[in-house]
């Protein structure tokens, strides 16, 4: 994104340890993904928790290797922070605004090839150009990336887990509605604090060294404002600004970006502002952010909504792309808190976790 300081008003305005203890069509991605389990207990080779980039790539790799996979997510849609929202006639990307591919460290994942027509080139600021990296946005928006990856994967949305315990060399997950899923192996891809909370609630004791590493992973918060404007903004094409001062880190014009049919902007607050205002009135915080962006908006605000990302992006990461917490039964942790490199890094983390699980389960009995 274009890097700027204080704007001037325009006139014209992504090792190993041990613990103790139906395919979808495009039209089904939004509807049938929400289907609940039809029996009290379900069995699968691998249970993947989290339907974000890491979870979906892990599931895809496991399916390709011939494993049965079930992905569960507590949310109403796939993607995690690959998130988009429609408000009346406006469309907003309100999580990740875009991503890059081409990092040699992540090349095995082949993310660009996997995504095909679900992405389009978008690089707001030529000054951000890095040799070998290609900048992308989602088509038709960022959630389209996740929906594309979810095709052919058995995903159960609005399915939160309350416990995850071992039983005779397998994992038994219990959902909020009291049903169970038996799996030969598990991959946890939520933000690490959420994964640790699940393991703690389940009485799964991790080795101290592993626990220390996981506790060291930290995330920033982010307050996001989605505002519909009465007219065009003053943001220059192709629609993105990265700010270097004030309470905002970025402003994106979703219409100029090519995803919205009407003028609509996304404001991302700084981690500092977001932490300070997290427990305050969201409407008041939104007004402060809109005021800070006024010189770039250039038009009145018709309406707005606010979203809070508790785990917006990792601030302190583990250097490994995934951690294998148990080998019998296998349990891996992955996601954007491991290895780094943004969205492409999260994909690489998911692929690495799948490879680790396949290595552990190669000689193990399959689920029936």
264-269 and 248-253 strand pairing? antiparallel
The confidence score (pLDDT) of residue 2 equals 46
Instruction: Report the candidate in 244, 248, 241 with the shortest Cα–Cα distance to residue 225.
Output: 248
What are the structure tokens assigned to 251, written together?
Answer: 């402003």
Interatomic CA distance for residues 198 and 163, integer angstroms: 6
Cα–Cα distance measured from residue 357 to residue 69, given in angstroms and rounded to the nearest whole number: 12
Whole-number pLDDT of residue 126: 66
DSSP 7: P
CATH of domain 26-80+148-217+317-361: 3.50.50.60
Tell me how far the alpha carbon of residue 128 is from its chain's centroid.
Answer: 23
| pLDDT of 41 | 83
pLDDT at residue 218, as a whole number: 97
- For the domain made up of 2-10+89-99+118-139+218-315, give the CATH fold: Polyamine Oxidase; Chain A, domain 2 (3.90.660)
Per-residue model confidence (pLDDT) at position 140: 97
Q: pTM of the entire structure?
A: 0.87
Report mean pLDDT in 10-residue bins for the chain, 368 residues: 44 38 46 47 96 98 98 97 96 95 84 92 76 91 97 97 94 96 98 98 96 97 98 94 94 97 98 98 98 96 98 96 95 95 92 97 56
User: Which segments of the chain belong to CATH 3.90.660.10?
Assistant: 2-10+89-99+118-139+218-315
Task: Encode 204-241 in three state secondary structure.
Answer: CECCHHHHHHHHCCEEEEEEEEEEEECCCCCCCCCCEE
Name which of 10, 47, 62 is nearest 161 in CA terms. Answer: 47
The boundaries of every CATH 3.50.50.60 domain in the chain are: 26-80+148-217+317-361
């Amino acid at each position: 994104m274009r890097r700027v300081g204080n704007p001037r008003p325009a006139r014209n305005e992504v090792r190993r340890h041990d613990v103790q203890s139906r395919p979808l069509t495009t039209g089904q991605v939004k509807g049938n993904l929400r289907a609940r389990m039809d029996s009290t207990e379900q069995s699968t080779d691998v249970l993947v928790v989290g339907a974000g980039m890491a979870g979906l790539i892990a599931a895809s790799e496991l399916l390709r290797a011939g494993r049965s996979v079930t992905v569960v997510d507590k949310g109403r849609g796939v993607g995690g922070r690959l998130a988009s929202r429609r408000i009346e006639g406006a469309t907003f990307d309100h999580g990740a605004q875009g991503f890059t591919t081409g990092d040699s460290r992540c090349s095995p994942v082949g993310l660009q090839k996997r995504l095909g027509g679900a992405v389009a080139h978008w690089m707001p600021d030529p000054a951000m150009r890095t040799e070998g990296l290609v900048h992308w946005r989602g088509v038709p928006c960022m959630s389209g990336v996740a929906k594309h990856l979810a095709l052919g994967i058995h995903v159960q949305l609005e399915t939160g887990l309350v416990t995850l315990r071992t039983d005779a060399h397998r994992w038994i997950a219990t959902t909020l509605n009291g049903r169970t899923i038996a799996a030969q192996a598990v991959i946890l891809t939520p933000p690490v604090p959420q994964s640790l909370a699940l393991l703690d609630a389940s009485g799964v004791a991790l080795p101290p060294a592993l626990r220390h590493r996981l506790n060291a992973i930290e995330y920033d918060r982010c307050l996001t404002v989605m505002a519909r404007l009465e007219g065009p903004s003053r943001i220059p094409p192709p629609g993105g600004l990265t700010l270097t001062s004030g309470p905002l880190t970025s402003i994106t014009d979703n219409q100029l970006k090519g995803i919205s049919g009407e003028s609509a902007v996304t404001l991302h607050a700084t981690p500092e502002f977001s932490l300070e205002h997290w427990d305050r009135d969201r409407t008041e915080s939104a007004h402060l952010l809109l005021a800070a962006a006024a010189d770039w908006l250039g038009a009145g605000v018709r309406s707005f909504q606010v979203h809070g990302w508790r785990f917006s992006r990792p601030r302190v990461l583990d250097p490994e792309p995934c951690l294998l917490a148990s080998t019998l039964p296998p349990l891996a942790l992955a996601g954007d808190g491991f290895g780094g490199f943004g969205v492409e890094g999260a994909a690489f983390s998911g692929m690495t976790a799948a490879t680790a699980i396949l290595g552990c389960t190669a000689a193990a009995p399959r689920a029936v």
